[in-house]
Amino acid sequence: MHPIHLHRLSSRRALGEAAGRHAAEALDRAIRETGHARIMLAAAPSQQETLATLAASDVDFSRVDCFHMDDYLGLAKDAPQGFGNWLERRFVAQARPRRFERIDTAAAPEQAALAYAGAMGGAPFDLTLCGLGVNGHLAFNDPPADFDDPVAVRVVTLDPVSRRQQVDEGHFAGLDDVPERALTVTIPRLLAARTVIASVPGRAKRDAVAQTLDHDLDPRFPGTALKTHGDAHLYLDEESDPR
């Protein structure tokens, strides 16, 4: 196991600015060393400030390829709740990266999973930007999570806690409106990255943060998988910090 590098900030805005600067540094380093960069993105309110800071940075996004880690099955193609659509509005339109590879939620689910695994390829990411769910999930890898999943992308049935979180965050009017299935990049593929930055603001995430920090590797607490990575960073604000 490795220690998670903790960054404690005074506010959600300060968290996002610090995490966004860190992300920009990671991408700049990759571009300097190899001429291009690969980034895995999460789509969630917790990521807004981080992504805004990153998009406004001096990173040469014409050399950056972007991927996203999960999306719902069963929504209309243009549904605003779709994570690919959310990222298009909140990040891609501002940053204008060389490539944004989207999950095809309109295809047959198993075929879409295989296609997206192929689109990502086997190369590691230079940076993974993630959050932490109320139940500790990474992407839509709900507990008990598979830390050794042999596939890169999987069709999953969403935990009720994950679905309720989407309602509580204002994305859906009620639980019945939240899709029951999704596609998610698995934990081993998410963590196949040079650097992992988790932006986790807000009181609702405090218990998940405490469980991540207090437990050894435990599938009941998916966030503990961050301890398998040698350069994983957890950015907290005063509300999410359990200490």
Mean per-residue pLDDT for 38-66? 97
Q: What pLDDT digit, counting tens, does each position of 181-239 carry? A: 999 999 999 999 999 999 999 999 999 999 999 999 999 999 999 999 999 999 999 99
Q: Are strands 181-185 and 70-72 parallel, antiparallel or unpaired?
A: antiparallel
pLDDT of residue 199: 98
Q: What pLDDT digit, counting tens, does each position of 144-168 carry? A: 999 999 999 999 999 998 999 998 8
Q: Which two tokens stand for residue 26?
A: 């990671």
User: Residue 170: is its pLDDT beyond 90?
Assistant: no
Helices 12-34 & 48-55 angle (0-180, nearest 10): 40
pLDDT of residue 40: 98
Range from 122-131, 173-182, 215-224 carrying the lowest mean pLDDT? 173-182
Taking alpha carbons only, the member of 93, 50, 219 closest to residue 148 is: 219
pLDDT of residue 48: 97
| Residue given tokens 């437990």 in the structure block | 215
Q: What pLDDT digit, counting tens, does each position of 5-38 carry? A: 999 999 999 999 999 999 999 999 999 999 999 9
pLDDT of residue 88: 97
Mean per-residue pLDDT for 85-92? 97
Beta bridge partners of 155: 183
b/e per residue 108-140 (b: at least 16 CB within 10 A): ebeebbeebbebbeeeebbbbbbbbbbbbbbbb
Taking alpha carbons only, the member of 138, 128, 130, 146 closest to residue 223 is: 138
Residue 111: partners with Cβ closer than 8 Å, 6 or more residues away: none
Identify how many contiguous H helices and E strands the chain contains and give both numbers: 8, 10
Q: Are 199 and 153 in contact, with CB atoms under 8 Å apart? A: no
Q: How far is 198 from 141, CA to CA, in rounded Å?
A: 15
**Class of the 5-236 domain?**
alpha beta
pLDDT of residue 84: 96
